[in-house]
């Protein structure tokens, strides 16, 4: 499989043998974790479940970790998120959601440093093109194994590789607030979104979010 060999080559070039990944139990993180485990060996991958809310979603993460064969660790982000939101006066749910994503990123890099590992991201092509991710949050990682796959392709590949039914049937959500779903925020299904993107649609949105997909601009003196 090209993704697995590509991951293996990337880690070899980087001189790294271990990976950490945030595992929510959604289909993206589950598949990214599974592919990374195939590339590096399950013993070299550590998955982290980083909840803000209660434990209602933890079983999904456990199911995904079992499928990939990796160990799963848990760390709550509630105290850190609340501290940042209190210090900055962030009260709206979108702003708080961005803080949650960035705290998770900071934790993953701290764990990566401790484990001498690289951070594997879980974003897909549909999210990247539409900017449906938090800059320096879930967008902060070293490698994106699903970055060339539309969401519908992620779903198809996960099914083909034998992903657990519970994960395949779960509604996509970033878990940024209770009841939040990706398709509810996007205003359409992923099938509809991908069909538009394949035809070059949503150009304004793709253009407006280009800065999220590129490194900082260097201003020449």
Of the listed ranges 33-37, 162-166, 176-180, the one predicted with least confidence: 176-180
Architecture of domain 2-213: 3-Layer(aba) Sandwich (3.40)
Specify the pLDDT at position 166: 96
> What does pLDDT average to over the chain?
95
Residue entry with tokens 């539409």: 130
In the chain, % of residues over pLDDT 70: 99
Q: Which residues pair with 47 in a beta bridge?
A: 21, 72
Q: Strand 19-22 to strand 71-74: parallel, antiparallel, or no bridges (unpaired)?
A: unpaired
Q: Strand 45-49 to strand 118-120: parallel, antiparallel, or no bridges (unpaired)?
A: unpaired
The number of beta carbons lying within 10 Å of the beta carbon of residue 75 is: 14
The domain segmentation of the chain, as residue ranges, is 2-213
Burial (CB < 10 A; 0-12, 13-18, 19+), residue 52, is buried
Closest CA relative to residue 53, chosen from 112, 96, 108? 96
User: Catalytic residue numbers?
Assistant: 28, 127
Total H helices, total E strands in the chain:
12, 4
Residue 17 DSSP code: -
User: Helices 151-160 and 27-40, interaxial angle, to 10°?
Assistant: 60
Over residues 7-16, mean pLDDT: 98
User: Helices 58-68 and 27-40, interaxial angle, to 10°?
Assistant: 30
Q: What are phi and psi of 206, to 5 degrees?
A: -60, -45
Specify the pLDDT at position 187: 87
Supply 62's token pair.
Answer: 């456990």
CA–CA separation, 53 vs 113, rounded Å? 26
Specify the pLDDT at position 177: 74
Closest CA relative to residue 180, chosen from 52, 68, 77, 65? 52
Per-residue pLDDT tens for 95-108? 999 999 999 999 99
Which residues, at least 6 apart from 56, have a Cβ–Cβ distance to it below 8 Å? none
Residue 218 DSSP code: P
CA–CA separation, 118 vs 11, rounded Å? 8
Q: Strand 118-120 to strand 71-74: parallel, antiparallel, or no bridges (unpaired)?
A: unpaired
CA–CA separation, 174 vs 158, rounded Å? 18
Whether pTM > 0.85 for this model: the answer is: yes
């Amino acid at each position: 499989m090209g993704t697995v060999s590509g991951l293996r080559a990337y880690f070899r070039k980087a001189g790294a043998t271990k990976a950490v990944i945030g595992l929510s139990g959604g289909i993206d993180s589950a598949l990214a974790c599974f592919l990374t485990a195939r590339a590096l060996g399950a013993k070299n991958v550590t998955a982290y479940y980083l909840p803000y809310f209660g434990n209602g979603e933890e079983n999904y993460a456990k199911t995904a970790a079992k499928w990939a064969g990796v160990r799963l660790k848990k760390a709550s982000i509630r105290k850190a998120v609340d501290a940042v939101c209190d210090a900055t006066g962030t009260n709206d749910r979108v702003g708080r959601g961005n803080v949650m994503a960035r705290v998770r990123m900071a934790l993953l890099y701290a764990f990566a440093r401790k484990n001498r590992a690289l951070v594997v991201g879980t974003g897909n092509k549909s999210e990247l093109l539409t900017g449906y991710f938090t800059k320096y949050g879930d967008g902060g990682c070293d490698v994106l194994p699903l970055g060339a796959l539309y969401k519908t392709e992620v779903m198809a590949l996960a099914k083909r590789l034998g992903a657990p039914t519970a994960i395949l049937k779960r509604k996509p959500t970033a878990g940024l607030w209770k009841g939040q779903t990706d398709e509810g925020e996007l205003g359409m299904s992923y099938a509809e979104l991908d069909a538009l993107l394949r035809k070059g649609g949503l150009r304004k949105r793709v253009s407006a979010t280009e800065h999220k997909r590129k490194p900082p601009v260097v201003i020449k003196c």
